Structure 1
Amino acid sequence: MIKFLIPFFIILFGNQFFVNAQTNPDIGNSCPPKTVFELFKKKDSLIVVKPIKNSFLLVIPVIGVQPATGFSYGATAQYTFKGADVLDKYSSANLGVVFTTKDQLLINAKNNILLKDNKIYLSGDYRLYVFTQPNYGLGTHIIPTHKEDPDFDVESIEEPMDYNYFKFHQTVSWEVKKHFYVGTGIEIDWYSTIVDKNLDVENGILTSHYNYSNQYGFNDNEYFVNGFSLNLIYDSRDNQINTREGWFANINYRFNADLFNDQKSSKVLYTEFRYFIPLSPKKKQFVLGIWAFGQFVTNGVVPYLNLPAIGWDQRSRSGEGYTQGLFRGNNLAYLQTELRFPISCNQLLSGTVFTNFTTASDKLSEISLFQYVQPAVGVGLRILIDKATRTNLILDYAVGNRSKGFYLNAGETF
Structure 2
Amino acid sequence: MIKYLISFFVCFILNQNVIYAQIATDIDNSCTPKTIFELFNKKDSILMVKPVKNSFLLVMPVIGFQPATGLNFGAAIQYTFKGRDVLDKYSSTNLGLIFTTKKQLLLNVKNNILLSDNKLYLSGDYRLYVFTQPNYGLGTNNIPKYNKDPDFDITSIEEPMDYNYFKFHQTASWELKKHFYVGGGIELDWYSTIVDTNLDVNNGIYTNHYEYSILYGFNTNEYFVNGLSLNLIYDSRDNQINTRKGWYAKLNYRFNADLFNEQSASNVLYSELRYFLPLDSKKENFVLGIWAYGQFVTKGVVPYLNLPSIGWDQRSRSGEGYTQGLFRGNSLAYFQAELRFPITCNQFLSGTVFTNLTTASNEINNIRLLQYIQPAFGLGLRILIDKATRTNLVLDYAVGNHSKGFYLNAGETF
Corresponding residue number in structure 2 for 1:22? 30
Residue identity in the other structure for 1:177:
K
CA drift of 1:193 comes to 0.3
Structure 1 residue 19: Cα displacement: 9.2
Moved more, 201-210 or 94-103: 94-103
Equivalent in the alignment of 2:38: none
Tell me by how many angstroms 1:103 deviates: 2.2
The aligned counterpart of 2:412 is 412
- Answer whether contact 1:285 1:340 (CA < 8 A) is retained: yes
Q: Does the CA-based 8 Å contact 2:66-2:323 persist in structure 1?
A: no
Q: How much has 1:50 moved relative to structure 2? A: 1.7
Residue 217 of structure 2 is matched in structure 1 by 217
Q: State whether residues 321 and 399 of structure 1, in contact with CA within 8 Å, keep that contact through their aligned partners in structure 2.
A: yes
Judging changes above 3 Å, is the alpha-carbon distance between structure 1 residues 161 and 386 closer, same or farther for their aligned structure 2 residues? same
Preserved contact between residue 68 and residue 324 of structure 2 (Cα < 8 Å): no
Q: What CA deviation, in whole Å up to 9, does each residue of 1:35-67 have, x standing for no partner?
A: xxxxxxxxxxxx973211100000011222333
CA distance in 2, matches of 1:19, 1:169: 45
Give the CA deviation at 1:68: 2.6
What is the aligned partner in structure 2 of residue 268 from structure 1?
268
Q: Using the alignment, how far apart are the partners of 2:398 and 2:67 within structure 1?
A: 17
Partner of 1:381: 381
Q: How does 1:308-387 map to 2 (within 5 A)?
A: 308-387=308-387
Q: What amino acid maps onto 2:115 in structure 1?
A: L
Tell me, which stretches of 5 or more residues in structure 2 are unaligned?
Answer: 1-25, 35-46
Gaps of 5+ in 1: 1-17, 28-46
Q: Does the 8 A contact of 1:21 with 1:345 survive in 2?
A: no
Q: How does 1:126-205 map to 2 (within 5 A)?
A: 126-205=126-205
Measured after TM superposition, the shift of residue 153 of structure 1 is: 1.1
Q: Match of 1:115? A: 115
Shift in alpha-carbon separation, 1:378–1:252, aligned structure 2, 3 A: same
SS, match of residue 83 in structure 1: coil
Deviation, 1:146, is 2.1
User: 2:383 touches 2:393 (CA, 8 Å); kept in 1?
Assistant: yes
2-side partners of 1:389 and 1:94: how far apart? 15
Cα deviations across residues 189-237 of structure 1 (Å, max 9, x unaligned)?
A: 0000000000001111100000100100000100000000000000000
Aligned counterpart, 1:285: 285
Which residue pairs with 1:402 in the alignment?
A: 402
1:117-150 CA-partner distances (Å, limit 9, x unpaired): 0000000000000000000000000000123223
Matched-pair identity in %: 77
Q: Quick one: which amino acid aligns to residue 114 of structure 2?
A: L
For 1:346-385, what per-residue CA distance to the aligned partner results, in whole angstroms no more than 9, with x for missing partners?
1100000000000000000000000000000000000000
CA–CA distance in structure 1, aligned partners of residues 48 and 240 of structure 2? 29
Root-mean-square deviation (CA, aligned residues, Å) is 1.5
How far the C-alpha of 1:155 sits from its partner, in A, is: 0.7
Structure 1 runs (4+) greater than 4 angstroms displaced: 18-21
Contact 2:275 2:291 in 1 (8 A): yes
TM-score by length of 2: 0.89
3-state SS of the aligned residue for 2:313? Answer: coil
- Hey, what's the Cα distance between the residues in 1 that align with 2:59 and 2:397? 22
CA distance in structure 2 between the aligned counterparts of 1:151 and 1:86, rounded to whole angstroms: 56
SS at match of 1:79: strand
Shift of 1:73: 1.6
The Cα of 1:23 is off from its aligned counterpart by 7.4
Change (3 A) 1:20 1:110: farther
Partner of 1:4: none
What amino acid maps onto 1:291 in structure 2? W
Query: Aligned to 2:109, what secondary structure does the other structure show?
Result: strand
Which residue number in structure 2 is paired with residue 242 of structure 1? 242
Q: 1:362 to 1:21 in 2, by over 3 A?
A: farther
Match of 1:39 in 2: none
Match of 2:12 in 1: none
Contact 2:127 2:166 in 1 (8 A): yes
Where is the helix percentage greater, Structure 1 or Structure 2?
Answer: 2
1:70 aligns with 70
Matched residue pairs, number? 377
